[in-house]
Amino acid sequence: MNFQLKNKFQEVQEDVLVIGVPEHPENVEGWDAFHTYYHSNLQQWMKNGDIDTKHKKIATFPAFDGHSFKKLVFVGLGKAKELNEEKVRTVFAEVGKQLHQLKASSIAIWTAPFTNEQLTCEDIAFLAAEGIGLGGYRFQDYKTSSNEQDMHIEKITFLSSASEDELKAAFEVGVVSADAVNKARSLVNTPPNLLTAKEMASYARGLAEKYDFEIEVLGKKEMEELGMGAILAVNQGSVEEPQLIVLKYAGTDEWEEVIGLVGKGITYDTGGYSLKPREGMVGMKGDMGGAAAVLGAMKMIGETRPEKNVLAVIASTDNMISGEAFKPDDVITSLSGKTIEVLNTDAEGRLVLADAVTYALQSGANYLVDVATLTGGVIVALGNDKTGALTNNEAFFEEFMHAATETGEFVWRLPLTENDKKRIRKSEVADLNNSPGRDGHMIFGGGFVGEFAGDTPWIHLDIAGTSDASAAHELGPKGATGVMVRTLATLVERMAATKA
């Protein structure tokens, strides 16, 4: 999306003019001038309820005679003093959905109705670009009957008296944020026959080339030489070669104080010999949502260039069944040297993460965040709208929660006790077992990964509930959500700013 700044209503020539309408619009500076210039019936429309001031309520009108735009979109803002970043973001996401239906290619936004004591014009520019980008996202499907390309918004014009440079800078960050999330969404939405581990590695290579990341991709032979027995076990039943994808972003001259982002990249999960039921199979193309979140965050980091070193490690394979597939009762040896008794082949995500976390530590990570669609247990515990978290470090988690609050992505921490750890370590034949039971399932799954983080500050994020939406939601359509992309990138930005 291209950016423009204008100062007068008379200059608007875009397809659509977007006007925010708070509960008392007459208090908005310049509202009388807008009312006079655009239409004398505006007040009557509001009185009749044709224009609703309730939060996110949309009303669309054709262009008034004598004006060059084609449509006028009013969107309700509710009480002006209660407007905050999250509410404005969702307002613009709703606008984005409407603009998609209108097939608009250019829009104009008057910033004044959206601002208050907490929100500046620069905030509005950022939230408009991010919200419209997220709300207007659509995945290009594979239907032969509908090959027409969707309309894309090519230009946004802001009616504002704010500094053009500052407004443009904020707008561009919003565009970057939405684009990173949407790329992650598209990865998750891609069918598993098209997004194999090698294809994911190819996408990562594209990021490395574009953003000058250092990249390393380990295949099956390299994993065997290193002793990555956990990833290799999960891959045994597959005809597709596994990939360990490593991206390095050097934000400082010295490779120190490195944040490691580790993603689960299971491109399809049958459950292996602990076979999923029929209804549990559909949607398993999304079991690489953690990997997509990490790749999306790296795309955003590549654009914003924070002064912080970041290491991304993604363990990718599918989990299939064959005569060579691993099975319950197997004992495998991980990269760390710890042995694992396999009690459930459908608890495969924690196995690939074990080797990925170990490799991240060996590559210099000083902080770790792993992201995974790990357990159904997190959905049972928290529902589909909350990401579950575990940690071993209070200060690191507090910094992370500041980032999650900033982006509006809800995260809830669960406890990881010594008794939980004892159950993970309970095995008569190995150091660990990969499935202590159904009770406390999310805690045991994430806690297993924590066994490989050791004392390194570590956060586990279980996005099994939040990675995919079963229906359209505030920030986008049904399907992949791109959850945690913005929070991970914001965490890196915050730690760069504080030199943590």
Domain coordinates in residue numbering, the chain: 2-182, 195-498
Count, residues in the chain: 500
Rama region for 408: left / alpha / beta (φ>0; ψ in -120 to 50; rest): left
Distance of CA 223 to CAs 231, 243, 253, 268, 354, Å? 8, 9, 30, 20, 13
Stretch 73-94: mean pLDDT, rounded?
A: 95
pLDDT at 408: 96
* Domain range 2-182, CATH class: alpha beta
| Residue 128 φ then ψ, to 5° | -65, -45
pLDDT tens by residue, 413-454:
999 999 999 999 999 999 999 999 889 999 999 999 999 999
**Fold (CATH) for 195-498:** Aminopeptidase (3.40.630)
Reference 59, options 112, 95, 31; nearest CA is: 95
What whole-number distance in Å separates Cα of residue 122 and Cα of residue 189? 32
pLDDT at 149: 57
C-alpha radius of gyration, the chain, whole number: 24
- The residues annotated as belonging to the active site are 276, 350
375 touches 445 (CB < 8 A): yes
The model carries a pTM of: 0.96
pLDDT at 44: 74
Stretch 152-163: mean pLDDT, rounded?
A: 90
pLDDT at 39: 62
- 67-70: list long-range contacts, CB under 8 Å, 24+ apart: 67/12, 67/38, 68/12, 68/13, 69/12, 69/13, 69/14, 69/15, 69/16, 69/17, 69/108, 70/15, 70/16
